[in-house]
Structure 1
Amino acid sequence: MYRIGELWVDGKLGIGEEHVASNVARELVTSVSRKGRRRGRQARVLICTPSGEEHSLSCHVLQSFLQSRGFDVSNISPSAPAETVLYHIEKEKPDIVMISITLGENVPAGQRLISSIRSASDVPVLVGGQQVSGGQKFKGATACSEPLERVPGLVRGLLRPN
């Protein structure tokens, strides 16, 4: 998908081709998720992207992976306004909120989303995505650039005591 994005940026692929590739990848992730194993309930996870962030394939991969490890996951990506995220936090009472940010232009919206969550809730917030790999800091959240296999342990480490 990185290569497809590069080809699109270079004008060698159109947006339609990029969307086809993303949709195929999303369907593959969904089919794998349906076959995933479950090991008992680990925690409730809310996955989202900030307003304006339309890249959600990583959220679907994360959802599939966490569900296969027994997490109860709600994925409201892409492009969730803060009010929507806060509504789902209130309604679903997740143990943790995970925010994915792919494009640098969406970092300010991500920071505003974290601030809104912090104003309304003490739920732990984990931020990941392409913009975190560069060492981006997010006040009020834990930044994660760990490999996917380490995410369940990181999530368990951030959970509030019952």
Structure 2
Amino acid sequence: MPPRRAPIIENQAENSVNRQGNPPPPLNGDAATRSLEGMARFFEQFQHAPRPQHDVCDELVDLMEEGGNIVDHHGCDFFPERWIDRVVMLQTENSILYDRLTKRGYIGQKLSNNIECEIFQILLEEAKESYFEGIVVPLRSDSVDDIDRNLSSLTDWIRSWSSLS
């Protein structure tokens, strides 16, 4: 039997969901590619040095081919479909997202682009266009109650997913 693929948690709404049980720790796409930091061009207006998507995939390929991973990343449409069993898109109300991002120091174009991305559901649409119908799941992440509900739902899904492997 081939290895199980990875659920992805998309992080437009700032991922606040923690794991319960024994799933593997999430692979953070940004942290996994820190060694590529010097290769990326820094965009002053976004205060960000994006890593080339193929480099992110190259850095994760060995881990992903083993299967059984959870990936936490702000985008997913470039991950190979064979790696993915579930895409979870955390979404939030724009005013809540604005407050969260300003507390994290987002300003100017970086802040406005993130808010616009949420308003127009750009990441959700990219995920729906990139993966099989039914594996992309949007979840609200506005309150502690939402986070608790998401945690319970994701934990249940991971347990049922684990029992299939």
Bin for the TM-score computed over the shorter chain: 0.3 to 0.5
- Higher RCO structure (Cα 8 Å, ≥6 apart): 2
**Alignment TM-score, normalising by the size of structure 2:** 0.41
